Structure 1
Amino acid sequence: MKLFFIALFITAELFASLDSITSFDADFVQSITDEKNKTISYTGHIIATKPQNARWSYFKPVKKEVYINDYDVTIVEPEIEQVIIRRIESNFDFFKMIANAKEDSKDSYTAKYGDTLFNIKKSGNLIESISYLDEFENRVTIVFKNQKQNQSINKILFMPSYPLEFDIIRD
């Protein structure tokens, strides 16, 4: 469940600290390092628009689509032919949390949600990376590349798409 809040937080963070941005499009590498210093990296692409629309497309090592629309998160996992649909907590206030982010130094910020502290690095008006410890004490870092902002994005890209024969789990 925390993955959904992290994805939502990151999506919100892309916009809340950068008031002039209305859309965000970037490639990313997400690295997760465990307590034994073993790291797994995921590559993918994110597109997002204000206020709460995002699509995280994971390409490697497995394909997965994560759609965030208002109060729903839909995860499509083609390799296991499964779709998970979850409702987002109504008391999760993205923008209030972001408004409370503190600048640690030039282009470096921290924000807290629950027990998790997020470290955010920016370059100019763009977020370069976000890092945090997850609920298993893994170090997670997401680095963005090829960022584009304020481009028109077709809203259809945020509509979950999957074959009807996939198993659907509603949580």
Structure 2
Amino acid sequence: MKKLLLATFISVQLFASLQELTSFEADFSQSITDEKEKVLTYHGRIVALKPQNARWSYIEPIKKDVFINDFQVTIVEPEIEQVIIKRIESNFDFFKIVSSAKKIDQNTYVAFYRETKFTIVKNGDFIESISYLDEFENRVKITFENQKQNHTIKKSIFIPKYPIEFDIIKD
């Protein structure tokens, strides 16, 4: 759970540090490789709107939506009819964190957050991928395709929607 939230927070906010973006939308593939070289891959779509709104819609191998709104994360898991609601630290400013990303070469940047190194690779004006080691020493790589930047996004898509009968877990 922590690695999903950290990946979500950091990757959404990295867009702002490399270029002044107000919105971002893309298809993504997220691969997690453990120490035995076993790879777990997720596919989906991200939509993000400045300052702190994001929706990660996981499509494969399971369906799941992760909503980030101001100081709260809501994870909707329809397959198990469950919703997890977590509070984010109020002093956590994602845009300031990634604004410290340093250019390493023409297309590569590095940012540090809570002792984790994030490597960002650009292709032209677009972010191609973000890679890091999570707290369990798994290699995580998120790759983006079909990107749109700085277009109008209705804030209503960041409001979690789920059936009333789902179990709600507040953390």
TM range (shorter): over 0.9
Number of the residue aligned with 1:58: 58
Question: How far is the alpha carbon of 1:74 from its aligned partner?
Answer: 0.3
Distance in 2, matches of 1:51 and 1:16, equals: 12
Instruction: Identify unmatched segments of 5+ residues in structure 2.
Output: none
Number of the residue aligned with 1:14: 15
Number of the residue aligned with 1:163: 163
Question: How far is the alpha carbon of 1:125 from its aligned partner?
Answer: 1.3
Distance in 1, matches of 2:127 and 2:74, equals: 25
Number of the residue aligned with 1:130: 130
Identity %: 60
Question: How far is the alpha carbon of 1:3 from its aligned partner?
Answer: 2.3
Q: Which runs of 4+ in 1 moved over 6 A?
A: none
Contact 2:104 2:110 in 1 (8 A): yes
Q: What secondary structure does 2:90 align onto? A: coil
What is the CA RMSD across the aligned residues, in angstroms?
1.0
Q: Are residues 2 and 31 of structure 1, via their aligned partners in 2, closer, same or farther at CA, if it must alter by over 3 Å?
A: closer
Number of the residue aligned with 2:106: 106
Distance in 2, matches of 1:79 and 1:7, equals: 21
Distance in 1, matches of 2:105 and 2:18, equals: 15
Distance in 2, matches of 1:45 and 1:97, equals: 23
Distance in 1, matches of 2:138 and 2:64, equals: 21
> Given residue 5 of structure 2, which amino acid in structure 1 is its aligned partner?
F
Instruction: Identify unmatched segments of 5+ residues in structure 1.
Output: none
Q: What secondary structure does 1:75 align onto? A: strand
Indicate the larger mover: 84-93 or 40-49: 84-93
Deviations 1:42-81 (A, max 9, x none): 0000011111110000000000000000110000001111
Question: How far is the alpha carbon of 1:11 from its aligned partner?
Answer: 0.8
Distance in 2, matches of 1:67 and 1:169, equals: 15
What TM-score do the two structures reach when normalised by structure 1?
A: 0.96
Number of the residue aligned with 2:144: 144
